[in-house]
Amino acid sequence: MGILEVKNVGKRFGGLQALGDVNLSVKENSVHAIIGPNGAGKSTLLNCLVGKLIPDTGSVMFDGQSVLGRKPYEINQMGISRVFQTPEIFADLSVMENMMIPCFAKRDGAFQLNAISSIPSQKDMIERAEHMLEDMNMADKREMHAGSLSRGDKRRLEIGMCLSQEPRLLLLDEPTAGMARADTNNTIDLLKQISEERDITIAIIEHDMHVVFSLAERITVLAQGTPLVEDTPDNIKGNPKVREAYLGETQEAA
Amino acid sequence: MGLNKRDVTLLVIVAILCLFAPFILNPFPEGSAMAQFNAGYPDLMQRLVIFGIFAIGFNILFGLTGYLSFGHAAFLGVGSYAAIWMMKLLTMNVIPAIIISVLVAGLFSLLVGWISLRRSGIYFSILTLAFAQMSYSLAYSVLTPITGGETGLQPKVNDPRILDGALAEGQTPRANLFGLQMNQSYEMAVGDWVFTFNAGYYLAAIVMLIAFYISIRIFRSPFGMMLRAVKSNQQRLNYTGLNAKPYTLAAFVISGMYAGLAGGLLVAMDTQVGAERMFWTASGEVVLMTILGGAGTLIGPVLGAGFIKYMENIVSKINKSILEQWFAFMPDGIEDLLVTLVYPFIGKGWHLTLGILFMLVVIFLPGGLVEGGQRVGRLFKRKKPAGDKPDGKTTPAE
Amino acid sequence: MDAIILQILNGLDKGSAYALIALGLTLIFGTLGVVNFAHGALFMIGAFCAVTLSRILTFSHTVIDETKKDFLGNPLKVEVPYIYDIFGQATGDVIIDWAVPISILFAIPVMVAIGFAMERGLIKHFYKRPHADQILVTFGLAIVLQEIIKYFYGANPIPTPAPAAFTGSFDFGAMLGFDPNTIIYPYWRLVYFAFAAVIIGAVFAFLQFTTFGMVVRAGMADRETVGLLGINIDKRFTIMFGIAAAVAGLAGVMYTPINSPNYHMGMDFLVLSFVVVVVGGMGSLSGAVLAGFLLGVLESFASMAVVLETLPGINQIIIYLVAIIILLTRPRGLMGRKGVMED
């Protein structure tokens, strides 16, 4: 029984069957990648997991509880954090504030009218945020405007923000899309380190084979809205069905 | 007080300005030609601080969350009506009136906010506008028994006033603070200058300082940080496990209570109210004040409110003959030309000046007067080697 | 029954004005993505075009009329409009009498010019700024425009009558077989409704049947793609702004005999027109027109004595109430498209 159990999930947009009949089980504390060519339904599936979309059929269970019908913030409070394709951070706030907001969300829940105490008096929150900044190697940037960070640093910050909530499941949506090679490798290293050092499950949607094969313990290949095959990276590499679905794409990515 | 040094300095400066406003606003000796531009009389000083409160509250919503409400005058109006009913039914003491105005406006803004905040962006603006216009129309027509309709409301001699007891015939009910009448003034003559110290003004100023202090606390609190996060990226906020709606609703209600407080104080100073106080141009005015001063900054709204109310007073008093005096040193033709050119912008043309000023600020100085001040400050600093923000972009001022 | 027909008719003229203003607002929002708070001011300026023209037409010079004497026996001084000198007295009188309809010709170039100037001079610079900034700057512009008009024309309403031929009323009651005098409707209101219908029809036909309109519609649906085709969409959008300004202006010109224009009429109509746009569905042209007429008629029904007896004051708030309900239950409005300003 995995921490995330997706059963018979289907989603239709008008005439387009975006997801057919998806079954997926993500084991606790593993790194699971979902790959597939463009239009395979990867993003739709992800959106069904985080509450942005509600599937037409099937069920999504996280740690024994259904996530369907819950709002994104409720699902997050259950322990699922999401990293977006383009980094979503609070661009108008400082790096430190960016890091503190998830800390407050973890401690105080979805809403707390904490209007009179001052931020400097929240020692434990500051400590936690600073700790996470150090983990992300961003301590020197703490007073910077988050919007003025480099793309790679924005990504780091976003991952750090998600981690500071101590999620049980971290969902990443093409975390290296549009990144230079060096930034991509840095991100891979960071994710490796995270999965080794923390009790955390990582599910990653990715296009870039290099990223997938360096990280994943299990891989699900999605094609035309249904899972084609699920296996270990080594077996996936040799699978002719995958090659067929991916022909051209792999060459492009390589 | 739980504030950092810079904020304490800011608060102290504002306190000093409020305390000495009767001097600062009366720079011209009595009887001189310029005396009519003195602004140190009670009515205007009271308005300066009361509209300051209104703008401070509006800024908590607009400045922090970015939700642009076009209906805040409704809360001011509701607060005013609540206050005047307190004076009619209970006592002419201003304390219950002010408290009830805050509470009633808070409840009303809870209702309006709960509905309006289901939408954001332009829809939110239009919803609040619709609510405000509705309140205005109702106050003017159907609710006449409660609002006095076109004539408005004033305390009358024969109102019940349970706590005060009956007034003697011929006496007029006056707003007071435990016997200290709001219109009571002490005049101090120094040489040719006359300075007026008015009880009502100082009450309003103290309330404004408290309101300002609370707003600083809110800005610096985790709650304030969440509100700025709402403005910055609601998507990220949702996926960080935070529910934006109660945060924005709380900000909306707080700013509504500030508006109610301002409305209650207006009644405490001048015991009458009419529906025009809720008209949407009044809502527009507080938007102007906040933007002009600098939305999202602490001091901006206070500056904006002060600036607009002060300029309104000065500019609308200038007339043609004063202009002619000013330009008298010019050759005749040029004098006439200047007078003709400037005339549309003064006196009754105040709103034209205001509109132009407002456009200029939105176009060139989105951070308002505060940003303007910072830019000027930076100009002077530039001579030193730049230790400025590396990106060179202007960042929202604190 | 006759009362209902009367109310529908009564609602039509206000509804026409709402529809015309809302149409322009939607054109601007749909094409340029700008929320124009100064659109009411354009309506108001249109009305003052009519005022201006009727003043120009009656510009007079003083002539000493030897045929008439005052009581001292001196020749009488008479004001003679210049227009008499050009066309003679009979034609001149007709022209003066028809000042409002003639103003249409005068208002079109003026309004288009103002529209161009506004778009090129101001709005253009706000495409990339947040909606709040667009609202604020056009709000400022609206104040400025209305204050300029106030400076030149004063604060009081200026009566601007319709041509004498339209001053009477039409008895619908008699025509439809009810008692005479039950459904009486001023001719000019009929004219206004017909005029609005023609303008709306013209705008839709223009968008539907010309290549220009086709490109604009495509641009409204998907600006980026059309831009990729190498079509200069911006220039067309500028022209659309001019057209929207002209539509608002013409609505104002023809409205003058119904309500004497004053400097704040634009703002009064703007607030309601925004509500209309929202009810119709942001970005939907037919929605704007439909909602305009619908709300106009609804307002008129709410003012019936029977209704007011049970729901006092409902006529004052009905439009806002409907807007609030619509926004909460159908956020896209009656005919709004998916994806247009969803939140």
- Record: contact C137-B344, CB cut-off 8 A: no
Instruction: Look up residue C293 and give its two tokens.
Output: 């007429």
Q: Which residues of C touch B354 (CB under 8 A)?
A: 143
Q: How close B254 gets to chain A, by Cα (Å)?
A: 10
For the stretch B12-35, pLDDT in tens is 999 999 999 988 888 888 877 777
Q: Among C147, C323, C331, whose Cβ lies nearest the Cβ of B352?
A: C147
Instruction: Look up residue C292 and give its two tokens.
Output: 């305009």
For tokens 């108001």, name the residue.
Answer: C44
| Model confidence at B58: pLDDT above 90 | yes
Q: How close B226 gets to chain A, by Cα (Å)?
A: 7
Sequential DSSP letters for A72-133: HHHHHHHTEEEE-SS----TTSBHHHHHHHHHHHHHH-S-----SS-GGG-HHHHHHHHHHH
The mean per-residue pLDDT over the stretch A44-66 comes to 91
Highest mean pLDDT among A91-100, C211-220, C221-230: A91-100
Instruction: Look up residue A18 and give its two tokens.
Output: 């975006």
Spatial contact of B248 and B255, defined as CB atoms under 8 Å apart? no
The mean per-residue pLDDT over the stretch C319-324 comes to 85
CA A201/CA B123 separation, integer angstroms: 40
Q: How close B27 gets to chain A, by Cα (Å)?
A: 39
Please name the chains neighbouring C, where neighbouring means 3+ C-beta pairs under 8 angstroms: B
Q: Which residues of B touch A165 (CB under 8 A)?
A: 240-241
- The confidence band for A251, taking pLDDT boundaries of 50, 70 and 90, is very low
Percent with pLDDT over 70 in chain A: 96
C137: closest CA among B287, A155, A14? B287
- What pLDDT, on the 0 to 100 scale, is given for residue B387? 42
| Model confidence at C122: pLDDT above 80 | yes
Cross-strand partners of B351: none
Instruction: Look up residue C326 and give its two tokens.
Output: 């619509």
C313: closest CA among B107, B281, B136? B136
The mean per-residue pLDDT over the stretch A110-118 comes to 88
Residue spans per domain, chain B: 5-278
Percent with pLDDT over 90 in chain B: 47
- Record: contact C271-B129, CB cut-off 8 A: yes
The residue of chain B with its CA nearest to that of C329 is B118
Percent with pLDDT over 90 in chain C: 25
For tokens 């931020």, name the residue.
Answer: A119
Where residue C242 falls (left for φ over 0; alpha for ψ -120 to 50; beta otherwise) is alpha
The mean per-residue pLDDT over the stretch B201-212 comes to 96
Q: What is the three-class DSSP state of A164?
A: coil
- What pLDDT, on the 0 to 100 scale, is given for residue B114? 93
CA A149/CA A155 separation, integer angstroms: 9
The mean per-residue pLDDT over the stretch A224-232 comes to 87
| Model confidence at A48: pLDDT above 50 | yes
CA C56/CA A38 separation, integer angstroms: 67
CA B57/CA C326 separation, integer angstroms: 29
| Burial classification of residue A253, based on how many CB atoms lie within 10 Å of its CB (0-12 exposed, 13-18 middle, 19 or more buried) | middle
CA B194/CA C306 separation, integer angstroms: 61
- Record: contact C143-B121, CB cut-off 8 A: no
Cα R_g (chain B), whole angstroms? 22
- What pLDDT, on the 0 to 100 scale, is given for residue C337? 63
- What pLDDT, on the 0 to 100 scale, is given for residue C342? 43
- The confidence band for B38, taking pLDDT boundaries of 50, 70 and 90, is confident
Could you tell me which residues come within 8 angstroms of residue B253 by beta carbon, excluding any fewer than 6 positions away?
Answer: B106, B109, B110, B113
For the stretch B246-303, pLDDT in tens is 999 999 999 999 999 999 999 999 999 998 899 888 898 899 899 999 999 999 999 9
Q: How close B289 gets to chain A, by Cα (Å)?
A: 23
Angle among Cα B387, B389, B392 to the nearest 5 degrees reads 115
- Record: contact B137-C141, CB cut-off 8 A: no
- What pLDDT, on the 0 to 100 scale, is given for residue C270? 83
Average pLDDT, chain B: 88
Average pLDDT, chain A: 88
What ipTM does this complex have? 0.90
Spatial contact of C22 and C14, defined as CB atoms under 8 Å apart? no
B358 interfaces chain C, CB cutoff of 8 Å: yes
- Record: contact B243-A73, CB cut-off 8 A: yes
CATH number of the structural domain C2-49+103-329: 1.10.3470
CA B248/CA A88 separation, integer angstroms: 20
Sequential DSSP letters for C36-91: -TTHHHHHHHHHHHHHHHHHHHT-EEEEEEEEEE-TTSPEEEEEEEHHHHHHHHHH
Highest mean pLDDT among A128-142, B317-331, C166-180: A128-142
Phi/psi of residue B103, nearest 5 degrees: -65, -45
Residue ranges of domains in chain A, CATH in brackets: 1-79+167-254 (3.40.50.300), 89-166 (no CATH)
CATH class of B5-278: mainly alpha
Whole-structure pTM value? 0.88
Spatial contact of B53 and B255, defined as CB atoms under 8 Å apart? no
Cross-strand partners of A219: A33, A231
Three-state SS string across chain B, please? CCCCHHHHHHHHHHHHHHHCHHHHCCCCCCCCHHHHHCCCCHHHHHHHHHHHHHHHHHHHHHHHHCCCCCCCHHHHHHHHHHHHHHHHHCCCEHHHHHHHHHHHHHHHHHHHHHHHCCCCHHHHHHHHHHHHHHHHHHHHCCCHHHHCCCCCECCCCCCCCCCCCCCCCCCCCCCEECCEECCCEEEEEECCEEEEEEHHHHHHHHHHHHHHHHHHHHHHCHHHHHHHHHHHCHHHHHCCCCCHHHHHHHHHHHHHHHHHHHHHHHHHHCCCECHHHHCHHHHHHHHHHHHHHCCCCCCHHHHHHHHHHHHHHHHCCCCHHHHHHHCCCCCHHHHHHHHHHHHHHCHHHHHHHHHHHHHHHHHHCCCHHHHHHHHHHHHHHCCCCCCCCCCCCCCCCC
Q: Which residues of C touch B281 (CB under 8 A)?
A: 267
Burial A28-51 (b: 16+ CB within 10 A, else e): eebbbbbbbbeebbbbbbbbbbbb
| Model confidence at A26: pLDDT above 70 | yes
Residue C328: C-alpha distances to residues B119, C22, C252 (Å): 8, 20, 32
Q: Among C132, C133, C320, whose Cβ lies nearest the Cβ of B133?
A: C320
Q: How close B314 gets to chain C, by Cα (Å)?
A: 18
- Record: contact B121-C267, CB cut-off 8 A: no
